[in-house]
A and B are shown apart, each in its own frame.
Chain A
Amino acid sequence: QKEVEQNSGPLSVPEGAIASLNCTYSDRGSQSFFWYRQYSGKSPELIMFIYSNGDKEDGRFTAQLNKASQYVSLLIRDSQPSDSATYLCAAGAGNNRKLIWGLGTSLAVNP
């Protein structure tokens, strides 16, 4: 069974801090990885995707990928209360059009 695992949280950080969200995946054939943000009652929206080992930065967000350890992370710098949401990690299902989804990590940024 191919899986993506995330700590359900809640992860609580003060405003202005760095929030670190982590994800592990089981399918060594996965080549693409995604982070989505989902506000309560809304649909997931894509934040970032990463295909190569290392870091990828986009504004306050940095995605990190370590294929040897099968580990993906998302760092949110200068966290804002508006970042409070559930963050979903997903991995491309190897030789397949589907994505494998984690259950999400709930983040609360406290003013």
Chain B
Amino acid sequence: DVKVTQSSRYLVKRTGEKVFLECVQDMDHENMFWYRQDPGLGLRLIYFSYDVKMKEKGDIPEGYSVSREKKERFSLILESASTNQTSMYLCASSFSGIGYEQYFGPGTRLTVT
């Protein structure tokens, strides 16, 4: 079974704080993704990585950065959290190549006050 874990299920941060969200997968997947999900807006891709130290911007990268130093771990960083970053954050992973299914972690519900 594919296992994707995320560091926190719920997180509350203050405006301006630096926030780290971590994701770990145990299936030796090459691709890892960070999404946010908001009511009525669906899943929106923030960043993805197809190899260690490699990353590509998704549809909404502004205000976020990522780090992938090891194959199994992909971190999302909010440099200076803002209230409009309150959301559900979902990490996913997949095998290398085109069009493979993605497996999701449980999600982190982030609230920025």
The judgment on whether A and B are partners is yes
* Residues in chain A within 8 A of chain B (CB atoms): 30-32, 34, 42-46, 49, 51, 88, 90, 92-99, 101-104
Report A91 CB to chain B, min CB distance, Å: 8
Residues of A close to B100: CB separation below 8 A: 32, 92, 97
Q: A43 contacts B104, CB within 8 Å?
A: yes
8 A-B pairs with C-beta separation under 8 A:
A32-B100, A34-B102, A42-B107, A51-B99, A92-B98, A92-B100, A97-B100, A99-B99
By size class, the interface of chain B is 20 to 34
| A34-B101 CB under 8 A given contacts A42-B106, A97-B31 | yes
Known interface pairs A32-B101, A49-B101, A101-B43; 10 further A-B residue pairs with C-beta atoms within 8 A, sorted by A's residue number? A34-B102, A42-B106, A46-B102, A92-B99, A97-B50, A98-B33, A98-B45, A99-B102, A101-B42, A103-B40
A59 and B96 CA atoms in complex are apart in Å by 28
The 10 A-B residue pairs with the shortest CB-CB distance, nearest first, are: A92-B99, A32-B99, A43-B104, A103-B42, A101-B43, A43-B107, A49-B101, A44-B104, A46-B101, A97-B31
- Complex: A101 Cα to B42 Cα, angstroms: 8
Q: Is the interface of A mostly helix, strand, loop or mixed?
A: loop
User: Using a CB–CB distance below 8 Å, which chain B residues touch chain A?
Assistant: 31, 33, 40-43, 45, 48, 50, 58, 90, 94, 96-107
Contacts of B97 in A (CB 8 A): 97
**B98 touching A104 by the CB < 8 A rule?**
no
Q: A94 CA to B50 CA in the complex, in Å?
A: 16
Q: Do residues A97 and B94 form an inter-chain contact, with CB atoms below 8 A?
A: yes
Interface pair B104/A45, CB less than 8 Å apart: yes
- Bound complex: CA A103 to CA B40 (Å): 7
In this complex, the member of A31, A42, A101 whose beta carbon has the largest number of chain B beta carbons within 10 angstroms is A101
Chain A: CB-nearest residue to B106: A43
A98 touches B58 (CB 8 A): yes
Q: When chains A and B are docked, how far (Å) is the Cα of A111 from the Cα of B51? A: 47
Question: Which A residues are CB-close (under 8 A) to B107?
Answer: 42-43
Instruction: List the B residue with the shortest CB-CB distance to A46.
Output: B101
